[in-house]
Copies of this chain bind each other. A is one copy, B any other.
Amino acid sequence: MHIVVTGAAGFLGKKLIQALLEKGTLRNREGQEEPLTQIVAFDVVPLSGVCDPRLMVRSGDICNPATLQTLIDAQTDSVFHLAAILSGQAEQDFDTGMTINCDATRQLMQRLRALPRRVRLVITSSVAVFGGSLPARVTDQQVWQPQSSYGTQKAINDLLLADYSRRGFLDGRSLRLPTIAVRAGRPNAAASSFASGIIREPLNGETAVCPVNPASRLWLMSPNRAVQALIHGHQLDEARLTQGRAINLCGLSVTVEQMVAALRRIGGPDASGLIRYQPDREIINIVNSWPGDFTADYARQLGFQANDAVDELINEYLAEQRPPADG
């Protein structure tokens, strides 16, 4: 199996590549597990810190069609497309968001379409496709009404992926990821960056700013669960995708207050005391437009799994920090 991962140097990309190398096989078009012989890790900066003879590290501009031509060829079996402009940046810079999140994804699909065999394409979408007046629990039949450019761009990709798949140009799966927490490393340009920060920074003895109020409800997933979901999404038999190509993943519905309570349970009052509430209207508007709870029936039926409790998210972060940090 020849695999390409875009956004490979990102937090999730690197974790996915490590998980793929460890797993060693993926299901091919015939449904058979087949050894991974090559993983092309592509990003705007080269992936570092992962060494394996099956790994080819490449860097460049994903918007350049010539780059896509050299990355992806007739040998390519599957592509995990994680490269994206995050929600905060896509809101601040509309054109860059459109170029990277929409145009590059469409060019990638066009590249796959030009190949002699149908490549499996796994992309990430987001709960940010939802917004407006929402029920307490969002079902799989809920209309999309993004309240951000990021959500708009992800929804456009979901539509294109479905049509490219329907027409037989490729075999696509779009996973609507919950907010990923706890991410290792530093804050990023996602509007939801605080969801990791309010756990990570206090556990490291630093203060953390929470820009939303304690009652805000979030839909969360741990990084390892997200990587498992990406791989599971790849492995699914196409015949099971009876309700479309975009899948609202199962997640964990918790309030910021519940997250802080879990932080206090695990890190003690010294940790939870390091959170400062500083409401940020721009972030509140984006984050509060996202649903905080989903039925995710389709995902459950397809065998995706959610985390059991916030404590699991925090403990996963702590367990990964024991060896030298990877992020």
Which residues of A are at the interface with B, using a C-beta cutoff of 8 A? 94, 132-133, 140-147, 149, 152, 155-156, 159-160, 162-163, 166-167, 243-244
Contacts and interface: CB of A to CB of B under 8 A. Distances in A.
Contacts of A147: 166
Given A132-B244, A133-B243, A243-B132, A163 B149 contact: yes
A284 to B, nearest CB: 16
B132 A144 contact: no
Contacts of A156: 156, 159-160
Contacts of A142: 141, 143
A163 B152 contact: yes
* Total copies of the chain: 2
Nearest to A129: B159
B163 A159 contact: no
Contacts of A146: 159, 162-163
Contacts of A244: 132, 145
Given A132-B244, A140-B143, 9 more contacts: A143-B143, A144-B144, A144-B159, A145-B244, A146-B159, A152-B159, A152-B162, A155-B159, A159-B159
16 contacts: A94-B167, A132-B243, A132-B244, A133-B243, A141-B143, A142-B143, A144-B144, A145-B162, A146-B162, A147-B166, A149-B163, A149-B167, A152-B159, A152-B160, A152-B162, A156-B159
A103 to B, nearest CB: 10
Contacts of A132: 243-244
Contacts of A155: 159
